[in-house]
Structure 1
Amino acid sequence: MGRSRTRRTGVIALLLLLGSTVAALVLYRRYHLSNGATLVGLVGGVTGLTGLWLTWAAFKADREEAAAGNLTLPAIADQLAIAVRRQWEDEAALRRLNDPYPLPVRWAPASSTLVDDWGSLVRLATSGAGWPPAAQPVAWATGPGGLGGGDAELVGLFDQVPTGRLVVLGEPGAGKTILIVRLVLGLLAEGRRASGGPVPVLVTLASWNPREQTLYQWLEQRLAADYPGLAEPAPGGIGGSRARALLDAGLILPVLDGLDEIPDPVRGATIARINDALRPGQRVVLSSRTVDYQQAISPPGRPEIRLTGATGIELRPLDVAVVADYLRGSAGGPAGVARWDPLLAAWPPPVAQALTTPLMASLARTIYNPRPGEPVLAAGRTPAELLDPTRFPTSTAVAEHLFDAFIAAAYRPHPDRAQRCPWPAADAERWLIFLARHLEHLGTPDLAWWQLSHAQPPWQRRLLTMLVAWLVAGLAFGLVFGLVFGLVFGLINGLINGLIYGFAAGLAVGLAGRLTGGVQPPRRAIRWRAPSVARLTGGLVLTVVLTVVLTVVLPTVLLGVIVIVLPFVLPFVLVFVITGVPADLAEAASSASILRLDRAAFRSLVIVIGLVVGLAVGLPFGLAGGLGVGLGFGLAVGLAGGLAVGLGQTAWGAFVLTRVWLAARGRIPFDLMAFLADAHEKRGVLRQVGAVYQFRHIELQRRLATR
């Protein structure tokens, strides 16, 4: 609906623009006007009607979109559930979580020193005071001892917790993230979630600074970034975004992954902030490494703090027999199974200790077993190499070897052309090492393209953006100015003078205002809102009235006010043709989709800023030197200014500059987005969480960063 309406608006705008031009020509012949600038004024004046109509159309469209605020909050929650389920089903398929079958994990109740007393949970859940009536308390476990089990029982276990608040603990690589992904999918399974009920949404905690934002403020930002449709206004005129409305209505079940990925000094504050935000009846899931959680809830010299009303489970190492069956089951047949026999028969203690975590077992499968479509011997390496006690005296040495061998295995040649990697393995490894160091420097696992400029030192970033602003603005101004004036004074002469003036102006742009010096968050293209539309509509009405009166009644006076009139009219024609389209709520955002939106915002800024600046600057020159002079000078200045502002005020502009600079130095590939998508979808090196990429495990990121 939104896209077709935008197309219709664009077509009608063009038709009205054509009609206004014809009307201006008729007026020109009737009044025998000879001044070119006056003709431009007539066109602009009549075009004001186009701008007025488009202003109203955009205002009305926005109201209609909000009234698709006929979409109630429960209906929005149902659409979000579809998006979340589709997102994690796709991610599970890419991670091969069910190939050859889900790797079984086990858990036991968490230590009583880490969670609230079970009696406290029951009293809280039955206290009333905002908690929903306990419909089936008989389904609750009788105590924490009933929470042991395996992942086939995870959703049932969650139902057994009276408060629905669960802490998932475990060692590095124990499978915490995979477990909560399965929990999310289980809660969203067909027939499991009631229509209009809360939606479990998995988010990583690494990007939250609890000292600056509340939990709901941060969650609102993350939801709007990961599911762009939630950035739209809430239905019913209640104010705020859909994301905030869902949070306030208790229709989001936060699944918070990776407390240990938040800096150590603020982990305790993180738990306190979560407690402050949780309302009666609010369920929540939190995951963390056991040691880090213990330190967070018992900070030295300060009172102990726990997640209010929460119990917990702690993941256990896998059974060696389970791991052996899993590795044999994905070995590609009898020949592949035979390759594992020497190792699995001996099971050296360091190897057994390392491979009894899901992470290491999955790395070993990638390194030593064939991928789908590969012959058995394509893996090259054999598991028997792990039998060498001098190379692998400890489980740490085994883990480091598996991390180091994983990248080469992920990028080894594939017999299927469609699966072949367009980048050499050595280059891919070098680029991934650079990106891992970049993330370690930022202190986050989130690889966001709009933060790539942080990979440069600040002085280098400022110098580069200043030089690019000078170059881009200078070339744009010089070429346009030179071509226009070259028609009068000769092409070579015009280009030389244009470039001289252009680079002088470009230097001023680069030095002034730091137009391209800041790191901007991604934009979602231009979209008008009611307050600004009201002001602009008033300005347009006044503009149109003045223009029509001056054109029809006092055409000679028009020349004196054209500088005031025209700059307020023409920009609106293009503004609404390029108005952003609301995102589909049933689709999760990706890095590529966010980049496309921000790139569209860049084009919008260049066009609108360029047109406004060009008209404002060009009209006085047109009045003094003629229509050709005014148009040429205005177009040159407007294009230069629009490019400079667009590069500086969009994340895409900074990303392009940084990407070219780093790629030229061999730090990243020129087509970075294609490389990241390939690393995620075909290599399994990265995973996607909402609009950002992450290394498949934080330990892989840290290992690469140290190489």
Structure 2
Amino acid sequence: MPDDPLLRLLLGAVVAAVLGWLLNQLPSLPQVPGRTFSVLRLAFELVILGVSLSWLANPPESSSEKTKALVEALGILCLVFFTIDASQLVNILRRNAGPSSEPDRGGTAGISPKQEYRILKILQEEVKKEVKGRLSGSLHNKVHLALCMKAQPKQVDSPLARGIKIGMQPHYPATPRTNVIEVFEHPEVAGKLLILGAPGAGKTTMLLDLAKQLLARNEEDFEQPIPVLLDLSSWQKDEQSIFDWVVAQLNLRHRVRADVGQRWLREQKLLPLLDGLDELASERQAKCVEAINAWLQSDERPGRVVVCSRLKEYESHEASLNLNGAICLLPLEQSQIKEYLLRVTGPELWQSIASDPALLDLAQTPLFLSIITLAHQEISLPEWHQLASSQERQRYLFDAYIRRMLERTIKSQEYTEHKKPTSEKTRYWLIWLAQRLKAGNQTEFLIEKMQPTWLQERSQKRAYQIGCVLIGGLVGVPIGVLIGVLRSGLMFGLKSGLTSGLTFGLMFGLMFVPGVGLGPRQMDEISVVETLSWSWKKAWSGLCRIPIPELRIGLLSGLLSGLLGSLLVDPKFGAMLVLMLALLFRLRLGLRGGLSGLEVERKATPNQGIRRSACNAVCGALIVGLMFSLIIGMVGGLISGLVVEPIVALRFMLTTGLVIGLIIGLLQYGGITCIQHFTLRLVLWQSGNIPWNYARFLNYATERLLLQRVGGSYRFTHDLLREHFAQMPERS
């Protein structure tokens, strides 16, 4: 520590001024969750760092080497936390700094034509697998039914439709036996089509059939656009354009990078097939129609697009889509119903249906005809005749279908006969899942997409928060033991190394993870890290860039740490801290630019995202830990060797770099994701909301024809079935 009282007073004043400036910046930071917590953590860590450095500069004569090692570990820990928390504060500034001032260069930098072709082929195979899986699991396709249609040109607002309103007739074919692709490709429709129908009429099945035929043409001629299935129920922001929403959905569902998705849409390499307009809230449907029309009239308008909606909901608002053609699916004719039932069950069921007008009326809908066929053993005609309304009859049929699917004898690939869940548990778990999907306006479910917002009770949320801390502490122990053995064990013995390592690990878990697991932003979202790739070009760009938020925080951190080190230890030691922090910030910028995810990633198995995140966390920790250790150890050691003993400086820098690298790599590339996901699953399992092996149960529900599985995603066999489960009482 400097001996001159005047110099000590001057340095203290500067440190106080910088600390005051930091706290005064709090009101000017964006009003976002976590800003106060981040600034207070920085101040607290600086105080602890200062106390540790002061103690190490003049340790009591009675202090042992073990005590010195523990205090030194505490100082390193605070320095690590300060670096990471400063980076988090940078991220808060960057996320809320508004649109980037850099010009939009367009294009898809970094992707060659060969890479683009490969990514498009992956997307093509992914969509093909989705279409095949959903068609094979559709109740409509257990026995093929030819869906009938008729033209409804008045449902769309186009030049052709305006002509039809004064007496003209559409020239595009839409007879009961017409194939949908004939209508879609007719010159007067030109690939802009609206599909309407009653609930369960087969709109989604027709859309999937159209996608299947379009995929076949894309395989023959790769210049043809690839159809992509998207659900409009996820459009929840009025200010978000449909173009931006499609780009976001491509990234969410297929991992297509935003700039790549934008260019593909502009170049019409993709053909959006938009389902579920009617699943939006009634007041939002008209807004969505207006947003689609704005997209159709913009410079980014699609060449071809298809929209699906229920007829009644579409007609409930005045706005009409600016598409070229519209078709409406017709109820099944009695001859079709009779032919279907005679092929599947024989004459007895047909005779029962034909003699009951209410049952025959519902059988005209393909969905309910399939349900009646599969669950007719559970239908009691005396109970049926007591039902007064159509809604009661529909609920009765769904209940009969669920009972039949749960009680029928199957050879399960997931459970043995004595291990399978009871019908009551299966029903409850599906009710809970349907309610969560409905609350989140979702139709598709992936295990890795479960979020903390699914926790309904306050006790569950508190258990999740505490669980993140405790599990984070357990994760920190192996890192702490490794560092303790490397640092203290080699000098003071294995026992001392293990002691300091355990202390370091528990401090890591109980001090750092609460900032991540309990932060308001992290509480709301779990983001998976599925793939890692390295780009030297992007890494160099990250090292060379000097963004304003990083510059502000970097200069502040270096100045404050340097002044603190100069005040408490030595001016040369303060200069060493400035250089080391500057090197850390540069390395982190280069790492963030160079190590990133791939553009498209397949979801082949359930919970694939979490398993990949765990693997990437380990790989990221090893890569970043070694990188930071070597670079900081060599460069920082050489610089620090001018201030303190070279061996001590090298050991300090090597272990400090390894600690920072391991923690950044582990947490930034999937570690926090795994901690949050495991804790969330544990809380939900303990509450009885889900089984322990969720993928196994979901596969079992698929065997029971209650869910469909495509790769690693699940959905109910029909949206009406999902709605029925969501309305069922949890305990019956």
> Structure 1 length as normaliser, TM-score?
0.67
CA deviations over 1:512-567 (Å, ceiling 9, x no partner): 3546534144334333457642246769xxxxxxxxxxxxxxxxxxxx89968997
CA deviations over 1:190-247 (Å, ceiling 9, x no partner): 599754123332211111235132112111222233334x43xxxxxxxx63322221
Say whether the 8 Å CA contact 1:473–1:502 is kept in structure 2.
Answer: no
CA distance in 2, matches of 1:666, 1:404: 23
Q: Aligned with 2:445: secondary structure?
A: coil
Say whether the 8 Å CA contact 1:571–1:608 is kept in structure 2.
Answer: no
Say yes or no: does 1:363 pair with 2:363.
no
The residue number in structure 2 matching 1:261 is 279
One-letter amino acid of the structure 1 residue matched with residue 427 of structure 2: E
Offset at residue 256 of structure 1 (A): 0.9
Say yes or no: does 1:242 pair with 2:260.
yes
Q: What does 1:238-637 correspond to in 2, within 5 Å?
A: 241-278=259-296, 282-296=303-317, 298=318, 305-331=319-345, 337=346, 340=349, 343-346=352-355, 348-368=356-376, 381-383=377-379, 385-386=380-381, 388-412=383-407, 414-416=409-411, 418=413, 422-449=420-447, 450-457=449-456, 463-478=462-477, 481=480, 484=485, 499=502, 502-512=505-515, 514=518, 516-528=522-534, 532-535=538-541, 583=600, 592-607=607-622
> Structure 2 stretches of 5 or more lacking a match?
1-106, 546-575
The residue number in structure 1 matching 2:20 is none
The residue number in structure 2 matching 1:103 is 145
CA distance in 2, matches of 1:518, 1:648: 17
Say whether the 8 Å CA contact 1:317–1:357 is kept in structure 2.
Answer: yes
The residue number in structure 1 matching 2:682 is 660
Counting matched residue pairs gives: 569
CA distance in 2, matches of 1:219, 1:589: 22
Offset at residue 506 of structure 1 (A): 2.8
Query: Cα 1:480–1:310, aligned 2, differ >3 Å: closer, same or farther?
Result: closer
CA distance in 2, matches of 1:330, 1:245: 48
Say yes or no: does 1:150 pair with 2:176.
yes
The residue number in structure 1 matching 2:564 is none
CA distance in 2, matches of 1:654, 1:426: 29
Q: Aligned with 2:150: secondary structure?
A: strand
CA distance in 2, matches of 1:155, 1:191: 14
Say whether the 8 Å CA contact 1:571–1:612 is kept in structure 2.
Answer: no
Q: What does 1:684-703 correspond to in 2, within 5 Å?
A: 684-687=705-708, 692-703=713-724
Offset at residue 80 of structure 1 (A): 4.7
CA distance in 1, matches of 2:119, 2:718: 32
CA distance in 1, matches of 2:404, 2:332: 24
Query: Cα 1:569–1:677, aligned 2, differ >3 Å: closer, same or farther?
Result: farther
Q: Aligned with 2:690: secondary structure?
A: coil
Q: Aligned with 1:144: secondary structure?
A: coil
Query: Cα 1:460–1:193, aligned 2, differ >3 Å: closer, same or farther?
Result: farther
Q: Aligned with 1:285: secondary structure?
A: strand
Offset at residue 340 of structure 1 (A): 2.1
Q: Aligned with 2:283: secondary structure?
A: helix
One-letter amino acid of the structure 2 residue matched with residue 654 of structure 1: Q
CA distance in 1, matches of 2:622, 2:426: 37
CA deviations over 1:300-339 (Å, ceiling 9, x no partner): xxxxx321143322222222342233234233xxxxx365
> Structure 2 length as normaliser, TM-score?
0.65
Q: Aligned with 1:517: secondary structure?
A: helix
Query: Cα 1:94–1:656, aligned 2, differ >3 Å: closer, same or farther?
Result: same
Say whether the 8 Å CA contact 2:363–2:369 is kept in structure 1.
Answer: yes
The RMSD of aligned alpha carbons is 4.6
Aligned counterpart in structure 2 of residue 208 of structure 1, from 228, 235, 244: 235
Query: Cα 1:458–1:502, aligned 2, differ >3 Å: closer, same or farther?
Result: farther
Say whether the 8 Å CA contact 2:139–2:370 is kept in structure 1.
Answer: no
Query: Cα 1:387–1:631, aligned 2, differ >3 Å: closer, same or farther?
Result: farther
One-letter amino acid of the structure 1 residue matched with residue 349 of structure 2: W
Say yes or no: does 1:164 pair with 2:181.
no
The residue number in structure 1 matching 2:113 is 69
CA distance in 1, matches of 2:645, 2:526: 36
Q: Aligned with 2:451: secondary structure?
A: helix
CA deviations over 1:156-203 (Å, ceiling 9, x no partner): 122334443221112211211111111222333459975412333221
CA deviations over 1:15-64 (Å, ceiling 9, x no partner): xxxxxxxxxxxxxxxxxxxxxxxxxxxxxxxxxxxxxxxxxxxxxxxx99
CA distance in 2, matches of 1:622, 1:91: 68
Q: Aligned with 1:364: secondary structure?
A: helix
CA deviations over 1:339-383 (Å, ceiling 9, x no partner): 52552352x222122222111122223324xxxxxxxxxxxx355
CA distance in 2, matches of 1:103, 1:473: 55
Query: Cα 1:423–1:608, aligned 2, differ >3 Å: closer, same or farther?
Result: farther
Say whether the 8 Å CA contact 2:464–2:683 is kept in structure 1.
Answer: no
CA distance in 2, matches of 1:170, 1:657: 43
CA distance in 2, matches of 1:706, 1:91: 24
